[in-house]
Amino acid sequence: MNSSPPIVKFDQVDKRYGNGPLILDQLSFEARRGDFISLIGPSGCGKSTILKLISGLNPASKGELMGEGISPQNAAQEFAFVFQETTLLPWRTVLRNVEVPLKLRGVDKTKRTEVARQCLKLVGLDDRADYSRQLSGGQKMRVSIARALSLSPKILLLDEPFGPSTK
């Protein structure tokens, strides 16, 4: 049993988009450092919503949500999100796509390139660093994963990274 403090904690969290139906109803759970958690359920049941709440992209309607002991909006620098869609920039090479978040954080070019190459090697795409448009769906998803890993996140949020779009 993992006795470390929770890295993510939901306490009686509700989520509703506007005046729509209740998506999450009194959700409570904790995730601790080293945990690997999978959310499984039918389409539309709130899996992506939970990830967006953790990442700070969406606020909870009710209840308390903490990441690293602080609100998700303040903990966002500690997390990386891989969306269902790859959201790659088609005018950039694979290597330059992986560098984007590092560039946004002000990391110098030499270090960005070094980290991006290491991450591409981790996902088995180091031989595709100069490609841009000649990638399969699965390769595009692995570029998205490498991009997220480049930030060395404490939490990696993966929204259907092995779903139908990667076949």
CATH architecture of 83-166: 3-Layer(aba) Sandwich (3.40)
Superfamily per CATH, domain 6-76: P-loop containing nucleotide triphosphate hydrolases (3.40.50.300)
What is the tens place of the pLDDT at every residue in 50-77? 999 998 888 999 999 887 777 777 777 7
Which residue ranges does the chain devote to CATH 3.40.50.300?
Answer: 6-76, 83-166
Supply the pLDDT for residue 163: 62
Count of residues making up the chain: 167
Is the pLDDT reported for residue 49 higher than 50? Answer: yes
Mean pLDDT of the chain: 89
3-state helix, strand, coil in the chain (%, to 5): 35, 20, 40
More confident residue, 34 or 73: 34
Q: At what angle do helices 137-149 and 94-104 cross, to 10 degrees?
A: 30
Residue 36: is its pLDDT beyond 80?
yes
b/e map 83-114, b = 16+ CB within 10 Å: bbebebeeeebbbbbbbbbbeeeebeeeebbe
DSSP state of 68: T
